[in-house]
Amino acid sequence: MPRVLCIVGTRPEVVKMAPVVRRLKESKDIDSILMLSGQHRELVRAALGQFGLRADEDLDLMEPNQSLDRLTSRAFDRLGERLRTLRPDLVLAQGDTTTVMVAAVACFYAGIPFGHVEAGLRTGDLRNPFPEEFNRVVAGRVATLHFAPTEAAGRALMKEGVRPESIVVTGNTVIDSLADSVSRVAASAHEPGAGQRLVLMTSHRRENFGEPMRRSFEVIRDIVATRPDLHLLYPVHPNPNVRGVAEEVFANAERILLIDPLDYLPFVAAMKAAYVIVTDSGGVQEEAPFLSKPVLVLRDVTERPEAVSAGVARLVGTDGESLAAALSELLDDASAYGRMAAGGSPYGDGKASLRIVQRLRTFLGLPLEEPPLAPFGRADG
């Protein structure tokens, strides 16, 4: 029986890998193992529970305020040892974290096929987002199978010399999870009252630490202060580089609520309740358009340009001025808001995980359990 090892390190990876892991666990002719790197600990375990999953292995890499070089070296050491013991026929990981980069390279060293979920996203700048762009490029160089979420991602891989036959355009698995979850979430505990509007914010990326993050927070604080109908909900990432700035800037501010990170289903409920979403998260850029929520992206570039091209997301950077202008327009101009809210999602049809598992079964020499699905798009289209 072929053995497939799925590795996740952060909560967004759990959300995006959960539908794939569940399909693999349901396969009676695949020995499926779920491994946590421990890059995030509490957030990951809580997210797994939301999807009815439990880890089989845990590398336990979490240390407070850990440097990238320390995390990377410990991940290589511990994962390398487990790969030698488990001897999987294929390893699968998603996205752009240090966990994914290390998994890809460790598999390359060990001669184990590596499948990259959400492959091919690029900004063209190795330091933005940092270190995620670098992690994706490295994974893309050594992966055996590339599961691209969009046609543009597939084309980016081909431009880098990846063989077309190793690329499948699948859609994004985050839409699989969201489509499955959105109808069964309860109303958010933070649902705004009549005549009130909620801005939901997430901000946690390394390249925004320090002054960029402070400027964005100050703009949001000042806009909320001048609009009595406006409330801000900010689930604050536990990283002290984020929490310290948030607690300082938003101290004693009215109608601004800082809370601990939400589990996945309550976060989906909060997105549904929001009027506008402000974020530097990649996954939220994909989820918000599916929920018809305008999203303002606290970044200068994005590896997810499809939403920007479709007019359902807008890059506002971190200089403060663009954020202030864009948020004010959405709050004051109903037609501008309507255009962004009605754009729809370019990121999937809810069947990405099935396409991924079908390709894995073919690669492993197993029969398909369901009729073949057409790709979500063409990498060479």
Task: Return the active site residues.
Answer: 96, 118, 132, 204, 206, 237
E-strand spans in 138-205?
Answer: 145-148, 167-169, 197-202
Q: DSSP class of residue 163? A: -
d(CA 324, CA 162): 41
The C-alpha atoms of residue 188 and residue 207 are separated, in whole angstroms, by 30
Q: Distance between CA 54 and CA 203 in Å, rounded?
A: 28
What number of other Cβ atoms are within 10 A of residue 222's Cβ? 13
Task: Look up residue 366 and give its amino acid.
Answer: L
Cβ density class 32-64: b for 16+ within 10 Å, e for less = bbbbbbbbbbebbbbbbebbebebebbbebbee
Q: Which residues pair with 35 in a beta bridge?
A: 7, 57
- Which is it for the CA torsion 276, 278, 281, 286, positive or negative? positive
343: left (phi over 0), alpha (psi -120 to 50) or beta: alpha
> What residue type is assigned to position 160 of the chain?
E
Distance CA 376, CA 242 (A): 37
254-277 burial code (b ≥16 CB/10 A, e <16): ebbebeebbbbbbbbbbbbbbbbb
Question: What is the rounded CA–CA span in Å between residue 379 and residue 373?
Answer: 16
Amino acid of residue 76: F
Residues composing the chain: 381
* DSSP code at position 183: G
Residue 129 DSSP label: S
Distance CA 112, CA 161 (A): 21
What is the bridge-based pairing of β-strands 256-259 and 313-315?
unpaired
Contact 90, 363 (CB under 8 A): yes
